[in-house]
């Protein structure tokens, strides 16, 4: 069992244990297990643990192709799941868009202000003045009852079908960089227009996330596949690590999303 943990970071142990419990539940009960909305790092952990040869299989779905946050369905290998098994609904926000501008941050804050943890809803989608967000069907009635305004703006919610979903494809711009070390502050100061000191300050002020979790250690060591977001500057991911140079610097291929 300990061999599993060595492949992941120490702070991921709790989630790994949860995945193992889900796997055991499906194996023992011969029944499917549907998760909340998970981030890509958590989904990667599930894939790594379940593997391709287990009696337990998995599928992921977040409402549309390319969704960032998705529900994962773990199920016995003899079942054939359908889209409806993911129990996903889509809500669109009706608000006075001619007079008010709402952002992703406003919607996120309002959803969490009614008691929802981040894993209880999926992606928030904005296309010009249209805003939609994806939720578990079991939370539909609660959210419709509780979410009446965003900030000081009164809103109405309407459920929409999958074919009405607005989507925006993410475009990652790849580039090759050389960094002095794999420390978080070193990578930030190379990839983004930040000094090393500014990068350290932003990390210490909880403005930086790695794999959707706040990181406050400037010496945090990054790994291949990590997604790093910096408030106000955008997001990057470490696509590949191409080894070290003769001067012991690291060559990385990173993707930039702004």
Q: Please choose, from the candidates 231, 176, 225, the residue with its C-alpha nearest in 3D space to the C-alpha of residue 206.
A: 231
Quick one: DSSP state of residue 116? -
Note the pLDDT tens digit of each residue in 185-214. 999 999 998 999 999 999 999 999 999 989
- Mean pLDDT value across the chain: 93
Q: Is the pLDDT of residue 168 over 90?
A: no
Q: What's this model's pTM, rounded to 2 decimal places?
A: 0.82
Residues 88-164, CATH architecture: 2-Layer Sandwich (3.30)
Average pLDDT over residues 33-39: 97
Note the pLDDT tens digit of each residue in 48-62. 999 867 789 999 999
Which range is least confidently modeled, 6-15, 160-169, 241-250?
A: 160-169
Per CATH, the number for 173-257 is 3.10.290.10
Average pLDDT over residues 70-85: 96
Which of 108-134 are b and which e, b meaning 16 or more Cβ less than 10 Å from the residue's Cβ?
Answer: eebbeeeebeeebbbbbbbeeeebbbb
Contacts (Cβ under 8 Å, ≥6 apart) of 245: 178, 251
Boundaries of CATH 3.10.290.10 in the chain? 173-257
- CA angle 181/182/184 to nearest 5° reads 110
CA distances from 112 to 107, 117, 176, 212 (A): 9, 6, 37, 16
Backbone φ and ψ of 159, nearest 5°: -80, 135
Of 1.20.120.530, 3.40.50.10140, 3.30.1370.160, 3.30.70.960, the CATH number of 2-81 is 3.30.1370.160
């Amino acid at each position: 069992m300990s061999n599993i943990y060595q492949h992941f970071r120490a702070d991921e142990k709790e989630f790994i244990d949860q995945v193992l419990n889900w796997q055991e539940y499906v194996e023992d009960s011969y029944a499917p297990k549907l998760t909340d909305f998970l981030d890509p790092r958590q989904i990667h952990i599930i894939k790594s643990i379940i593997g391709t040869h287990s009696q337990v299989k998995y599928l992921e779905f977040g409402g549309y192709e390319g969704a960032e946050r998705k529900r994962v369905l773990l199920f016995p290998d003899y079942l054939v799941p359908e889209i409806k098994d993911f129990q996903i609904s889509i809500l669109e926000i009706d608000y006075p868009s001619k007079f008010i501008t709402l952002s992703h941050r406003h919607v996120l804050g309002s959803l969490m202000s009614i008691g929802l943890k981040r894993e209880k809803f999926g992606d928030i989608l904005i296309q010009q003045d249209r805003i939609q967000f994806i939720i578990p069907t079991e939370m539909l009635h609660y959210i419709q009852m509780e979410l009446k305004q965003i900030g000081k703006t009164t809103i109405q919610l309407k459920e929409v079908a999958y074919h009405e979903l607005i989507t925006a494809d993410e475009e990652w711009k790849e580039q090759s960089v050389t960094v002095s070390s794999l420390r978080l502050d070193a990578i930030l100061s190379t990839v983004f227009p930040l000094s090393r000191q500014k990068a350290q300050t932003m990390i210490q002020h909880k403005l930086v996330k790695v794999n959707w979790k706040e990181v406050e250690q400037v010496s945090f060591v990054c790994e291949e596949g990590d997604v790093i977001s910096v408030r106000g500057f955008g997001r990057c991911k470490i696509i590949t690590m191409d080894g070290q140079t003769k001067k012991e610097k690291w060559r990385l291929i990173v993707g930039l999303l702004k």
